[in-house]
Structures are given as structure tokens and as C-alpha cells.
Amino acid sequence: MTQTMPQQMWHRQSRHICWLMAALVVAGLAAGDALPFLYTNTRAAINWTQPQLDEWKIEAQPRSVVPHVQFKYHANRTNSEPADSDAEFLERLRALRQNRSSARMLWYDAAAGDGLTYPPFVDKALKLFNLKQVAFEIENSVLSKVSCTACKAGAGLLQHYIKSGKTDAELMKMIAQYCTNLNIQSPRVCEGVAQLFGSEVIYVLQRVNLGPDELCSFIIGDGCGDVYNPYHEWEVIFPPVPKPPRLAELPIPLEAAPFFKVLHISDTHYDPHYVEGANADCNEPLCCRLSSGRPANPNAAAGKWGDYRKCDTPKRTVDNMLAHIADTHKDIDYILWTGDLPPHDVWNQTKQENLEIIKETVKQMTEKFPGVPIFPALGNHESAPVNSFPPPYVNQVDISINWLYDELDVQWRRWLPQSVSHTVRRGAFYSVLVRPGFRIISLNMNYCNNKNWWLLLNSTDPATELQWFIYELQSAEFSNEKVHVIGHIPPGHSDCLKVWSRNFYKIISRYESTITAQFYGHTHFDEFEMFYDPHDLTHPNSIAYIGPSVSPYYDLNPGYRIYYVDGDHDTTTRLVIDHESWIMNLKEANLYGYPIWYKLYTARAAYNMQALRPNDWDKLLNDLTDNQELFEMYYKNYWKNSPARPTCDAECKKRMLCDCKSGRSHDRRHFCADVESKIDEGSSKSWKSWFYRGLTNSYSLITSITYLPKYLLGYG
């Protein structure tokens, strides 16, 4: 089945949840006593239990108030320097474009048909819930109403079995058995998912009284309806300080002023078990390992430097990239490192292995960039199991997240001041005064992650992170500081809880004069997100830069970003002046045996932007909507010029540009109506013009021929 772009980009992190649900659907159909539960809307009244109150006091914590970084001096460096390598690659990029239709060498299109056979009761399940489509959607990370139905059925059955007194061991065995029988995943993946995630899911569901509708709306998001849930509605509190009057237009950074050169690395997904020549076309969530089996043919073998299929990053590729960066960009002032270090073997991870990967990559970064400050943010893959980040009130030793946060404090301490230790150990967030008047705040975006089952217990500002964020921003405003915000999951992404994202959006709007840029990862694509005044959608007030992944997972080239930030001078804005995206062509690297990293594009030159202020990005968004040629360039850059990128139709274009405009998650209808109507109108005009032009040309041709034979006109 051909995969479109939206099928590949949505909900990549939610697979393990739906494997549990899909298996439970069939488990219920096999047990006749559970069937009536599927078709009733009755459930027990909700008795909300408030978790133990948190005594943590924000204002009592130490703050970073002394500039933490002394940058090296780079003689004669200003932002008026021309980009010296753009022209160098024009011919190369033109050649790549011409070769796009050449035969694939590193990936393989399997024949249609799954070849699965099911027992009679499973056939019944497939007819009722179309689980084959659910399995396909899980594998391709697109969750529709079909997956929503399966989620509701599975959640209801799991709650039913919990209430009926089945033990955790019985439930997990049942999940693994039916996951295997359905061929949803391989037996070892089914067993691993059941063991790794089952106990946590059961623990949480034993302590909540939400029904399947609320549960699946919470987990899947707008793909499963917008179900009102009063126990997951809350508001942050702002201090009684008036918002400073906003400028009519932000100034453009001075052309000849000093700047900071900033490296942004995200989503490394280093796989220590990657093996060149292993099977890259396996039937599991992660391939290219010895355990993936032998490749069926040469096309199915994993490449030396990585693979476009479901494979993460080999060590040699990470080493080569860091060596290239250290050699090419010798004048980096600081590094933003926005998380997701472990690979995608989510069924087979342990706390110890994830900690080893964190330690190894921190050591690697320290050795490659000695003396360069690094500001990290926590990804959703650092925990084991993935997406599992219990808030501080979950403090039992066996399920607490302290094992991770305590180690992060130790590892991050080599770059961060002592004063941030308290917040890192509490919730893996921190605030650092980098230079006089310039602060970086790193947020733990896993507290907005709707795949974090612990938030079902209580999603109200987990770890008091957003209230602390407000405190830091208000202090920065009082001190005339500008702030850059970094994190992993973009706040407008569908993986971010709607209520958390809504509160975050209000914070951005209130402190728009203080926050001058945001930086995230997670999606693996090269993109951006817009923020607007909630009361005036014509006023863009912030921009979130979403950096490309190092991992090629999947169908992508590895990449990284370089930002140029307005530096230390009297009239500095601390805005991003420009940014470059650098990539490695994975196909060529495997073909010729050696990778070449090159600059794919520079934002202002590629998109003809006057500057990179929020209003400039808003103008670009309008241009992308109206100008198909410009959108195609953006689409190429979004996929990091991957030769494996799919085609993008009107629906794909609407979804992509709506993502750009929606800095607030699960609220597409509020932001995207104008974008979607313009694209629909453009598509309609294009189709109508094609039809009428063809009709007119045909009529003209017929009428221009005076003496047509009678038999041609049907008279003969």
C-alpha cells in the first residue's frame, strides 16, 4: 500500500499503546462474557481522588542570576558575512533533482498483501473492528477513527478485566498472546510490549475512573474526538503585572552587529546494535540489527551509514557527523541538544541500557566540543518504557522517575551551573542566564505528552513546571532579559495535551516581549510552528524552530541546524538572524562508501525573507499557501531532500501548513480554516481551469476544421 506523507508523519510515538488496545479487542471477542461490555455506555460514576499535595515552593529555589558563559572572541565576525557555500552546491542539488526518478538502491517495495491467516473468532473481530487496518495504521503511525474504535474497545475490555479480578500476569499474558495471534507484531515484540508497558497501564487504569471515551480522546487526541473531561481542565495563574505594550513591529537585527553561532542537534536515536548488511526490511518497529534476521535479497540489506527504512543511526554516522561539525564549524558559541538519544526498540529497552546511551553520548559530545557550552533538553525516548514520566507525587521507588532525573543532573552538570540541580532532579527542567540580558529555559515537554499514561492520574501542571516557567519569565521581564525556550515535543504537536498546550500558548502570548525564539525536535522533519495572540490571530507573536533529526528513521536523510542569533551589543534583539540546515545524502553515502555533509538551504535566501521575525514567518506561511513552487521547495527541505519522500497532494499540503500555523495542539479548526480554504480554492481553480481549457481547445479544434468527413461526425 502506497504511503502518503500524512500517513508517515502522524503519531509516530503512540504505537505501543494501540498494540495493547488492538490485542485486547480480540481478547474480548474470544471471551463471550466480556462482549456485552462493548455495547453499553453505562459506567460507574467518577469519584475523583486528588493526589497528595506537592509542597514544592518555586520562589524558594535558587536561580541562575550570574552569566554562565564567556564566549570566545571571533575576530571580524558579524552577520554581514555572506554564505560562502550556497553557490557551491547548486549544481549538486540540481543533479540530485534530476536523479530523483532513478531506481532505488537502498529500500525495497514489498508486494501488496499481508499473507496472514486468522482463526474464526479473529475473522469475526476483523469484520467488527477492521483490525487489519488498525495494524496497518499502527505500523504507519496514522491513527484514524478505526484506531479510535479499537482503542475504546480495548480500553473498555481492559477495565472490565481489571474489575473482574484478573491478575496483572494474566492480563499481560493475554495481551501478548493475542498480539502474536493477530500478527500485529512479531512474538518477541508482543511479549516485550506486554511486559514493559502492561504493568504501567494496568497500574494507572486501576486508579482512574475515566471511561473509554475519555481515555482514548486523551491518548489519541483529535483523531478520537474532543471529549470534554472536567478532571483534565485547569488554568495557570499569572502574576498581577500588566503586560508591557507590544511594539507595532519588531526591529530587524543590525546587519553589521556581532552574533552567536549556535548548533542545534536533535533526535540522534543512536543504535549501538546497528549492523551493516542486516535485514532492513523486517516486520518489527526497528530493523537493521542482527536480531532482525538475514535480508531476503540485496536490496533488503542495511547500508553502511544508515538506511531509509525503519532503522536508527549507526555509531559511525554519529561519529562522522560530529567530526564534520567540529571541523566545519570551528566557531560554534553554544549547542542546543533537544533530546531523543536512545533507539526505537521500544519493546526491548531497560533503564540501564538507556542510561548507558545517555552517558556515552554525553561523553562523545564533551570530547568533540571541548569548552563549548551545551544546553540539553529531555526527549520522550530517554525513559524506559518510552513516554513514561511519572510526576513527582508518584514517588514509590519501583515506579519513580528519579533513576533518570538524578543521572541527568550528574551528566548535565558539566555544562550547567550548580543552581539548576534542584529543578533538574525535580522535573528535568532548568533556567540559565547565559549572558547578561540573555537566558535559556529548558522545558521537560514530556509533561505535555499525551502518551505519558501517568498524566491520566492528574494532568494539572505536572511538577508545577508551567507555574515555575511563569515565575522565571516574570523575573526575566523585570530584569529586561530576553529568553530562548528549548524542549523536545513542539507544543502545537498532536502528541501534546490540549489543556497543557492551551496554557502554554497563553504564557507565550503574555511574555511575547521577553521570549524571542523557541527550539524543539521530535518530529524528525525540518519545519516551524507559529504562535499568535489568542485574541488577535492577525498578530503573530512567536516562532518555534523545529530542528531536523540526526536519525534517518524513516525515509529521511540525517541532518542538523545552524542558527545565527543576534549577539552582544547595545541594541541586540536576541532574535534568530538566519538559519542553515545541513544534511548528508544517505543514498550517496552508502553507494560511494563515504558521507558528504552539505548545506541544504539557508532560510532567508531560500524563502526570500527580509528577516526571521514572527511576522516574516507569517508572511512566508501565506506565500507557501499561494505559491506552489515555493511550497515544493519547502516540502523538499521539510523532508531533508530525501529521495524516498512521497508525493504531496492538496490534503498533504493542508496538513503541513496547518501544522505550521498551529502552535496550540488539537485546535486545527480554530487556526486552519483560512489556510485550508485557500488551498481548496487553489485546487478547485486549477482543476476548473484545466477542464475548461481542455474543453475550449477541443471545441476550437473541431470548429476550425470546416470540412470534416460525415462519418467522423457520426452521420455516415
Residue 340 labeled ligand binder: yes
Residue 670 labeled ligand binder: no
Q: Which of 484, 470, 468 is nearest to 432 (CA)?
A: 484
Q: Could you tell me the CA-to-CA distances from 13 to 10, 190, 705 in Å, in that order?
A: 9, 17, 63
Concatenate the DSSP letters of all residues of 594-619 into one string. S--EEEEEEHHHHHT-S--SHHHHHH
Residue 522 labeled ligand binder: yes
- How many Å apart are CA 217 and CA 149, to the nearest integer? 11
- How many Å apart are CA 429 and CA 421, to the nearest integer? 9
Burial class (CB in 10 A: 0-12, 13-18, 19+), 239: exposed
Helices and strands of the chain, counted as H and E runs: 23, 12
Half-sphere exposure for 25 (CA within 13 Å, toward CB): 29
- How many Å apart are CA 679 and CA 685, to the nearest integer? 10
Find the length of the chain.
716
State the residue for C-alpha cell 538519544.
341
543 within 8 A of 612, measured Cβ to Cβ: yes
Half-sphere exposure for 308 (CA within 13 Å, toward CB): 27
Q: Which three cell numbers stand for residue 415?
A: 555544562
The residues pairing with 601 across neighbouring beta strands, listed in sequence order, are: 581
Q: Look at residue 87 and give its three-state secondary structure.
A: helix
State the residue for C-alpha cell 469475526.
124
565 within 8 A of 437, measured Cβ to Cβ: no
- How many Å apart are CA 623 and CA 631, to the nearest integer? 8
Q: Which three cell numbers stand for residue 199?
A: 504493568
Residue 524 labeled ligand binder: yes
Beta strands of 360-478 (E only): which ranges?
374-376, 430-435, 438-442
- How many Å apart are CA 132 and CA 138, to the nearest integer? 10
Concatenate the DSSP letters of all residues of 234-261 into one string. ------S-PPPPPPSSPPPPPTTS-EEE
Q: Could you tell me the CA-to-CA distances from 490 to 217, 328, 501, 527 in Å, in that order?
A: 19, 29, 9, 11
State the residue for C-alpha cell 525536535.
521
Rounded to 10 degrees, what is the CA torsion of 564, 569, 571, 577?
A: -10
Q: How close are the terminal C-alpha atoms of the chain, in Å?
A: 48
Query: ∠365-371-375 over CA atoms, to 5°?
Result: 60
- How many Å apart are CA 522 and CA 549, to the nearest integer? 8
Residue 273 labeled ligand binder: no
Cα dihedral sign for 206, 209, 211, 214?
A: negative
Binding residues for Zn(2+): 267, 269, 340, 380, 488, 522, 524
Binding residues: 267, 269, 340, 380, 488, 522, 524
